[in-house]
Amino acid sequence: MFNRYLPVKTELVICCPLTPLQQNLYNTFVGKQDFASNSSKRRKESEDVISARGLSAITQLKKVV
């Protein structure tokens, strides 16, 4: 319905080195994440919750860079 009013979305990916601040934020974020936990609580979570957590982490990292 609204698609005819919106312009076509285009994305441009530009690769460049991270600034020192971005490196610090990135490393701090990754260091605080529990990506490989083997706890029984983690094992009992559904795959959907784990996937949502992973996608959220990717989104946050994209914001940093």
Calculate the CA 1 to chain-centre distance. 30
How does pLDDT run across 43-65, given as a tens digit for each residue? 555 666 667 788 888 888 888 88
Handedness of CA 12, 14, 18, 21 (dihedral sign): negative
Q: 20-32 vs 47-64: helix axis angle to the nearest 10?
A: 160
Residue 36 scores a pLDDT above 80: no
How does pLDDT run across 8-33, given as a tens digit for each residue? 889 898 899 999 999 999 999 988 87
Is the whole-model pTM more than 0.85?
no
* 15's tokens: 């690769």
* Radius of gyration (C-alpha) of the chain in whole angstroms: 17
